Amino acid sequence: MRNIALTLMYDGTAYHGWQVQKRDVTVAETLEKALSTVLNHPVKCIGAGRTDAGVHAEVYVANFRTDSSIPCDRLPLAVNSRLPGDIVVTKATEVPLDFNAIGSCIQKEYTYRIYNSRIRNAFLVDRVWFYPKRLKVDVMQAAADHFVGTHDFACVRSVGTETKTTVRSVRYFNISQDGAMISCRVCADGFLYNMVRAMVGTCVYASEGKLSPDDIPALLEGKNRTAAGPTAPPQGLYMTKLWYPIPGLP
178, HSE (Cβ side, Cα atoms, 13 Å): 3
Q: Where are the beta strands (DSSP E) in 80-166?
A: 87-95, 107-115, 129-130, 149-152
Catalytic residue, from 11, 24, 52, 86: name it.
52
Q: By the 8 A CB rule, do 135 and 116 touch?
A: yes
- For the chain, give the longest Cα–Cα distance: 59
Whole-angstrom distance between the N-terminal and C-terminal Cα of the chain? 23
Whole-angstrom distance, CA of residue 85 vs CA of residue 76:
13
Residue 86 annotated as catalytic: no
Whole-angstrom distance, CA of residue 47 vs CA of residue 172:
23
Whole-angstrom distance, CA of residue 131 vs CA of residue 180:
10
Mind telling me the catalytic residues?
52
